[in-house]
Structure 1
Amino acid sequence: MSKPTTRYAVILITVLFFLWGFALNLNPILIPHLKKACQLSDVQSALIDSASYIAYFLMALPAGLFMKRYGYKAGITLGLLLFAGGTFLFYPAAETRQFNFFLVALFIIATGLTLLETAANPYITVLGDEESATQRLNFAQSFNGLAAFLAPLAGGAFILSGRNVSATEQQAMSTGQFQAYLQEEASSVQVPFLIIGGIVLLVALLISRTALPIIEKEDLNLTTKSSGSILKETNLVVGVVAQFFYVGAQVCISSFFIRFLEQVADIGEKDAANMLSGALLGFMIGRFFGTFLMKYVSPPRLLALYSLMNIGLLAIAVFGQGMVPVYALIGVEFFMSIMFPTIFALSIRGLGSKTKLGSSLVIMAIAGGAVFPVIMGRVSDLSSMQTAYLVPAICFLPILYFAVKNFAVKNVQLTASH
């Protein structure tokens, strides 16, 4: 491929990183919004995350098999078509205001995202010189962070109405007026998701018309022979568990952020969405700062320190009053920043020819994002949203254990993000 063609392909694949980051980071907007529009409990609204993240667990291996047979370009194209199809389903889901319809749409979107994530990381590394592969990957991942910052801003501006009908106001409304209010709330997702779907279809068209390299062989540099079951790799197993708890904590903290601010500090949903965007900007900054710190502090020790910081900050969020818990929760986003790539890199370190399988297991641990928000929602329904933040606080204990277990490791190469 010529340099201009390669550059164009890099741009298109980088767009994929932005698209799936944007889609996943709309969930914290959809959770309070659909809770209101569909009249849900907290545990029911948490199923929004479950529908998204369970797809990664169920579809990761089928996505890999599909691309092994038909190629990465076909996988990317199919992923984009599923992504677009799921967004278009939001229109009839909003018309009927059936929550199960929304969950099906979210699962289809996430299935498409699974295909995109499975393909994009290896693709970006072969689009150009081998020496600059890691640089290209990190550059592309920075757009994932940009999407995380922009999604709550866009969702807050174009989806959230900022209007909440109190129990007293509801009693003063007729049944027809209240149903019209709920329908208006549900309908606000229709145009934004149609626009997202249109953009995704355009990218799919561009991808289908672009010459992308065919990866003929993989893992040629992994010469270490496999010996024994992958489950005998103790550090990998502990790392998979740590990643399961980490993704669960990350999703819990972001997804219920708006609900937390509403309950604890009486902050309106639009202002809360803007504050979430600021917190996720802190997450992105924290990743760059954490990478810099790793020049002086070993990754496992920094992971342990950040785990302790998050446990302490979440304790303040649970037991504090006023704006203090809000600031503590914003701080947690900063200290989560390095965790996914650090756990990933430490988990697969030294696996040799088992690296690809080990990587798949760590990625499948993203299913933690489907489990812990439901637990947190149940705790909130039984007590309060503030108390429910004990759930992610507990999640950081296995991460701390994994970090301490790896104290002897001095350095790792961070190439994965989420």
Structure 2
Amino acid sequence: MTQQKKQWSAIIIMIALFAMIAFVTNLCSPMAIIVKNDFGASNVLAQIGNYGNFIAYLVMGIPAGMLIAKYGYKKTALIGLAIGIIGILIQWLSGHVGKESAFLVYLIGAFTSGFTMCILNCVVNPMLNLLGGGGNKGNQLIQLGGVFNSTAAVACYILMGALIGDAAKAHIADATPALMIALAIFVIAFVVIMFTKIEEPEQAPVDTSLIKGALSHRHFALGALAIFLYMSVEVGTPTYILQYLTSKGIPASTVGLIVMMLIGRFVGASIGAKISSRAMITTVASATLLLVSFGMFSPETSTVEVPGIDWASLSVIWQEVPVGILAFLLVGLCTSVMWGGIFNMAVEGLGKYTAIASGIFMTMVFGCAVMVAIQGWVADMTDYMTSYWVVLFSAAYILFYAAIGSKPSKKSE
């Protein structure tokens, strides 16, 4: 097998893992509805499966980077997949145990799966960047992975709708087909990766000083903060759109945002090799500032119809919403390429520190829980539209990072 074929085999596997991460992560939303119905859980408790993902990133981010530094990308991916298999089996088991312990069993499974998503993200992002040789090509591969990531997210919702129907009337046991598909994906990925040779880049000896070494690169430290705040833009924008629409008695669907992210990633993947990450993120951060500002201050009396999907019946629906909501949905075009672009700029020139840097990045995903909570606090104190000042602040920082803060402060190591 030629070196080029070996490289493409590794690229295909990493992109497949990217898609798998989205599929399993997006099981959390419909599962939360099922949990609320099956166990009579509160809204907060029902979302613990979702919270578990972010808590897992906080707990497992840096350890995952240390695993890569010690065992390499391939073995770390296998460890993550093995943990994922266990997590899915535990979630499945929750539908077949006594009612008094079923909820606890489900939560354990959800937390376990969250660890897997963190580990695999630590593997996928730097490997795609390295396989592309960094720079524009590395960014293009991450954006291509993002296309499959968004496609898998849509597929998850469609599959759950087709297999389960109305999630609000379903029970954990009814989710067995979807969980078994997720399990099969994990098992197949484990076997394929085990028998695929992946060239490992040079790693620094495992030591806590790796963290200090990575953070000594100013552009990386600023990039880690950019990822922390990016979570506010990606998650905070749709979260409070839904809250706002619900408060106005308007049926809400997130398909518009998912489709916008999918389109954005297709565009990002197609032009990623031609346009630098710095130019790309500067452009989309500026567009985000304009779109969010328009969404905040446009009159509610001006309306427009946007598409959505009834996941239970898989039918397309059209909803009349204020025109500002359309602007918020268009933010999905911008956020679709932010993660890959910020990562690409932040790890440029890190060399042996790339693995631990990826772990630090994954830890910063916890910013979702922090920033969305801050936005929620502002919404409670004022109103939903005023809360988007939090998103504007985050987008402004990302613009600063792309334009100024992303310039490497040291030579490659």
TM-score range, shorter chain: 0.7 to 0.9
Partner residue in 2 for 1:89: 90
Distance 2:297 2:172 in 1: 35
Partner residue in 1 for 2:151: 146
SS at match of 2:166: coil
Query: Residue 25 in 1 paired to residue 11 in 2?
Result: no
Partner residue in 2 for 1:305: 286
Partner residue in 1 for 2:189: 203
Partner residue in 2 for 1:75: 76
Q: CA deviation at 1:244?
A: 0.9
SS at match of 1:74: helix
Offset from partner CA, 1:388-413 (integer Å, 9 cap, x none): 5654541330330342365358999x
Bigger shift: residues 331-340 or 27-36: 27-36
Partner residue in 1 for 2:326: 327
Q: CA deviation at 1:195?
A: 1.9
CA change 1:383–1:285 in 2 (3 A) is farther
SS at match of 1:199: helix
Partner residue in 1 for 2:123: 119
Q: CA deviation at 1:278?
A: 2.9
SS at match of 1:212: coil
Distance 1:318 1:218 in 2: 54
Q: CA deviation at 1:199?
A: 2.3
Q: Is the contact between residue 203 and residue 353 of structure 2 (CA under 8 Å) also seen in structure 1? A: no
Query: Residue 400 in 1 paired to residue 396 in 2?
Result: yes
SS at match of 2:94: helix
Q: 2:226 is matched with which residue: 205, 217, 242?
A: 242
Offset from partner CA, 1:75-103 (integer Å, 9 cap, x none): 21221121122122222334548544433
Distance 2:277 2:183 in 1: 44
TM-score normalised by structure 2 residue count:
0.72
Distance 1:73 1:347 in 2: 23
Query: Residue 284 in 1 paired to residue 265 in 2?
Result: yes
Partner residue in 2 for 1:343: 342
CA change 1:396–1:69 in 2 (3 A) is same
Q: CA deviation at 1:145?
A: 2.9
Distance 1:101 1:317 in 2: 46
Distance 1:306 1:247 in 2: 17
Q: CA deviation at 1:336?
A: 1.9
Q: Is the contact between residue 94 and residue 187 of structure 1 (CA under 8 Å) also seen in structure 2? A: yes
Query: Residue 251 in 1 paired to residue 235 in 2?
Result: yes
Distance 1:7 1:233 in 2: 31
Distance 1:240 1:343 in 2: 9
Q: CA deviation at 1:374?
A: 4.7
CA change 1:19–1:162 in 2 (3 A) is closer
Q: Is the contact between residue 90 and residue 189 of structure 1 (CA under 8 Å) also seen in structure 2? A: no
Partner residue in 2 for 1:215: 200
Q: What letter matches 1:154 in structure 2? A: L
Q: What letter matches 2:183 in structure 1? A: G
Distance 1:15 1:319 in 2: 42
Distance 1:213 1:237 in 2: 29
CA change 1:57–1:410 in 2 (3 A) is closer
Q: CA deviation at 1:133?
A: 6.5
Offset from partner CA, 1:2-34 (integer Å, 9 cap, x none): 466665454333311110122223334344454
Offset from partner CA, 1:292-315 (integer Å, 9 cap, x none): 995799346424413313432552
- Aligned sequence identity (%): 19
Offset from partner CA, 1:253-294 (integer Å, 9 cap, x none): 4456666655545327xxx25445434434434645885995
Distance 2:366 2:275 in 1: 28
Offset from partner CA, 1:104-145 (integer Å, 9 cap, x none): 222211211222222234445676999997355554443223
Q: Counterparts in 2 of 1:44-193, with a 5 A limit?
A: 44-95=45-96, 96=99, 98-124=102-128, 134=138, 136-159=141-164, 161=166, 184-193=170-179
TM-score normalised by structure 1 residue count:
0.72
Offset from partner CA, 1:13-66 (integer Å, 9 cap, x none): 331111012222333434445445444444444433321022122112222333
Q: What letter matches 1:148 in structure 2? A: A
| Structure 2 residue runs without a partner (length 5+) | 205-209, 304-319, 409-413
What do you get for the CA RMSD once the two structures are aligned? 4.3
Q: Is the contact between residue 13 and residue 124 of structure 1 (CA under 8 Å) also seen in structure 2? A: yes
Q: Is the contact between residue 298 and residue 410 of structure 1 (CA under 8 Å) also seen in structure 2? A: no
CA change 1:143–1:374 in 2 (3 A) is same
CA change 1:379–1:91 in 2 (3 A) is farther
Distance 1:373 1:119 in 2: 26
Distance 1:162 1:389 in 2: 30
Q: What letter matches 1:343 in structure 2? A: I
CA change 1:30–1:233 in 2 (3 A) is same
Q: CA deviation at 1:161?
A: 0.2
Partner residue in 2 for 1:361: 360
Q: 1:315 is matched with which residue: 296, 308, 325?
A: 296
Offset from partner CA, 1:336-390 (integer Å, 9 cap, x none): 223223333444557677666555433321111233445566778x699xx4565
Distance 1:306 1:22 in 2: 28
Q: Is the contact between residue 261 and residue 336 of structure 2 (CA under 8 Å) also seen in structure 1? A: no
Q: Is the contact between residue 46 and residue 373 of structure 1 (CA under 8 Å) also seen in structure 2? A: no
Bigger shift: residues 272-281 or 101-110: 272-281
